[in-house]
Amino acid sequence: MKKTICFLIVIGLLFLSCAKQEEQETMEVNPLLSEFDTPFGVPPFDKIKEEHYLPAFKEAMDQQQNEIEEIVGNPDTPTFGNTIEALERSGELLRKVDSVFDVLNGSMTNDKMQAVAKEAAPLRSKHQDDIRLNEKLFQRINTVYEKEDELDLTEEQNMLLEKYYKDFVRGGANLDEKEKARLREINKELSVLTLNFGENILKEDNRFELVIENEDDLAGLPQQVITAAAEAAKERGHEGKWVFTLHNPSMIPFLQYSQRRDLREKIFKAYINRGNNNDELDNKAILSRTAALRVERAHLLGYKTHADYVLEMNMAKKPENVYQFLDKIWKPALAVSKVEAKELQEMIEKEGNSFKLQPWDWWYYSEKVKKAKYALDEEMLRPYFKLENVRDGAFYVASKLYGIQFVARDDIPKYHEDVRVFEVKDADGSHIGILYTDYFPRASKRGGAWMNSFRKQYRLEGKNIHPLITNNGNFARPTGGKPALISSENVLTLFHEFGHALHGLLSDCTYYRLSGTSVPRDFVELPSQIMENWAFEPEVLMVYAKHYETGEAIPQELVDKMKKAALFNQGFAAVEYLAASYLDMDWHTLTEPKELDALEFETESLNRIGLIPEIIVRYRSPYFRHIFSGGYSAGYYSYIWAEVLDADAFEAFKETSLFDQKTALSFRKNILERGGTEDPMKLYMRFRGAEPKVEPLLKRKGLI
Ligand SMILES: [Zn+2]
């Protein structure tokens, strides 16, 4: 037995040094380093242990380093094949180890996995830098890039060449030594600033507490909110009292239901002043410095502003395009929000009050207006949204659109008993890929919902490698003898993630780097968001939204109420979001690396767009984590950009029929199969025949 194992390992290590071989021969077999001997080559979860990852990472990085050295050492003139494709092929093992680890660390983590993650992260980033900053490698890429026009490449090959070239250039490969040194300094300082920014907000979130001692001060709050506040008080050493914090699940219900206007004001003001208290947690200097350094870096790399640098890689391309786009939605949204404010003011007066509506009143009075207008309670819908039915509803939509089938497979290994495995087949019965659904929360899983993959689709030496896609959620488990009944918001989430899954499953690309969901940030939400449109169409609801006890389809009356309530408060939601998008763009279109007064700058920015005083921007600068400590600088607009795309794309179905086969085929061929192989706008226009229009979104949000 032992001999066989050693033999297999030696085969896998042919390119490595002898010393390495000896070291490996004494080790137990590492399943991550062997072929997966399972149906469809899925990971053999029962064999993979936490201790296998780190050696596998190291081995995989060594392998890629050797592959890179081979490319660099090639005496032949650089060509697309011996440089770009060779680079693309390198790191095959690393991708495999990375994917398996990444999926499981999100869905099935533990202390050991987290320790591996911490140890692997710096190794991984150094490995990346070693490749990006390899001058000889860049020279080869550059040689090929300069001959691009003579090479007779396909569209996809052109894209691949440009992606690699840009990666290196944007990483500073073209700079001289002095500039490179300054770039490294800037990057280093920025990494510390962004880390500090995030840590300060985390501390701010945790330090404020609204302690309520008198039961009368709880007036208006629902019982489960009071119970949660009592539990929070106990945890924080205030037994017998009630505590509210700045975390959304605690603060939002307080703003919605508390009759104590003064206390609503108190918690709200604490929230909007995070990072702005002129103390050790203040973020104003940090963010000004961050914005200034980003301008300096943009200048070094040859861009006018940080936004120009970021947007070059997105669909929007230029800051002007983002501003023009935001303006189109801002005006109607602002008008609707003013009407909403008036309705809330009327409700205030109807109750016999004379004060003027303030930002901390918005949730409280909008809740009252909603009840009066729509008489819709979420709990009325839940019995119709049994998880399995909703999932089958999503499958039904995909089958009707693309003719694909989902076949439950009990013979394929899975990493947890909650997971369900489906083989996805095309209309002609041929294999497309595997979908794992994993919908319930557990301690080992992070929050939220997401799509990921154990393996992306691509072609290796002409052979199609089929994708292994996962969909994760944190939906309510079955309780008290009832099946899992999920909220209407969860229904949309399930359809949304399923849309990302289809993007991964139906991918038909040659190169891994460009396949599936490897597309710009302002394009990636199109396939996911468009699926949400089908979820609540009456024709689709009738198929899957069946009462979990009686099996009866959802009553028309409820469907109508849902439709109407969907337009509620959309002006407010759009305005607070768009204001933040403008603020993001303003910070990142600065042309001088100067440190500014953060609050003055913010006030000017929001005054310029005419934000009304009853609404506060969704994120004020000192706690705008997305742009000052996350990856969304000059990118916060992406969400609504993709909403325009999905609303406009769905219009193509509405113009014909919900399941129009010609339109569906075009969406599959031009969007879902193509990944990032071409410019997204070209792909979109090939599907739609024109650039996306903003009107369908405005209509959907009730803004026109
Ligand atoms: Zn998404």
Which pLDDT band, with edges at 50, 70 and 90, does 570 fall under? Answer: very high
In whole numbers, what is the pLDDT of the chain averaged over residues?
92
Residue 643 has what pLDDT? 94
Q: How many Cβ atoms sit within 10 Å of the Cβ of residue 17?
A: 11
Which pLDDT band, with edges at 50, 70 and 90, does 43 fall under? Answer: very high
Residue 448 has what pLDDT? 76
Residue 445 has what pLDDT? 84
What is the percentage of the chain residues whose pLDDT exceeds 70?
96
Q: How remote is the CA of residue 641 from the centroid of ligand 1, in Å?
A: 13
Question: Is the pLDDT at 625 greater than 80, yes or no?
Answer: yes
Residue 497 annotated in active site: yes
* Buried residues in 416-435 as b, exposed as e (16+ CB within 10 A): eeebbbbbbbeeeeeebbbb
Residue 25 has what pLDDT? 43
The Cα 609–Cα 536 span in angstroms is 34
Question: Is the pLDDT at 5 greater than 80, yes or no?
Answer: no
Q: How remote is the CA of residue 362 from the centroid of ligand 1, in Å?
A: 28
Which pLDDT band, with edges at 50, 70 and 90, does 684 fall under? Answer: very high
Residue tagged active-site, from 340, 497, 525, 576: 497
Q: How remote is the CA of residue 374 from the centroid of ligand 1, in Å?
A: 29
Cβ atoms of residues 205 and 251 within 8 Å: no
Question: Is the pLDDT at 220 greater than 70, yes or no?
Answer: yes
Candidates 687, 669, 652, 681; CA nearest to 523 is: 681
Question: Is the pLDDT at 458 greater than 60, yes or no?
Answer: yes
Name the residue with tokens 């600033």.
193
Q: How remote is the CA of residue 654 from the centroid of ligand 1, in Å?
A: 22
Question: Is the pLDDT at 15 greater than 70, yes or no?
Answer: no
The Cα 651–Cα 667 span in angstroms is 12
Question: Is the pLDDT at 182 greater than 70, yes or no?
Answer: yes
Over residues 596-613, mean pLDDT = 98
Phi-psi region of 401 (alpha: psi -120 to 50; beta: other; left: phi over 0): alpha
Q: How remote is the CA of residue 269 from the centroid of ligand 1, in Å?
A: 31
Candidates 398, 392, 456; CA nearest to 420 is: 392
Question: Is the pLDDT at 18 greater than 70, yes or no?
Answer: no
Q: How remote is the CA of residue 496 from the centroid of ligand 1, in Å?
A: 6
Over residues 122-142, mean pLDDT = 88
CA distances from 355 to 217, 264, 351, 699 (A): 20, 15, 11, 33
Residue 132 has what pLDDT? 84
Residue 24 has what pLDDT? 46
* Angle between helices 362-374 and 556-565 in degrees, nearest 10: 150
Question: Is the pLDDT at 618 greater than 80, yes or no?
Answer: yes
State which H helix or E strand residue 436 sits in: strand 431-438
What's the first-to-final CA gap in the chain, in angstroms?
72
Contacts of 406 (CB under 8 A, 6+ apart): 395, 398, 399, 422, 423, 424, 435
Residue 257 tokens read as 């239901």
Which pLDDT band, with edges at 50, 70 and 90, does 640 fall under? Answer: very high
Cβ atoms of residues 640 and 329 within 8 Å: yes
pLDDT in tens, 461-514: 889 999 999 999 988 888 778 899 988 889 999 999 999 999 999 999 999 999
pLDDT in tens, 380-431: 888 999 999 999 999 999 999 999 999 999 999 999 999 999 999 999 999 9
Residue 191 has what pLDDT? 83
Which of 12-26, 99-113, 240-254, 581-595 bottoms out in mean pLDDT, i.e. has the lowest?
A: 12-26
According to the per-residue pLDDT averaged within each range, which of 11-25, 345-359, 554-568 is highest? 345-359
Question: Is the pLDDT at 21 greater than 50, yes or no?
Answer: no
Which of 32-41, 360-369, 548-557, 563-572 bottoms out in mean pLDDT, i.e. has the lowest?
A: 563-572
Which pLDDT band, with edges at 50, 70 and 90, does 27 fall under? Answer: low
Query: Residue 17: phi, psi to the nearest 5?
Result: -70, 165
Report which DSSP code applies to 81: I
CA distances from 688 to 532, 639, 646, 662 (A): 19, 20, 11, 12
Residue 319 has what pLDDT? 98
Dihedral of CA 577/583/587/588: which sign?
A: positive
Which pLDDT band, with edges at 50, 70 and 90, does 187 fall under? Answer: confident
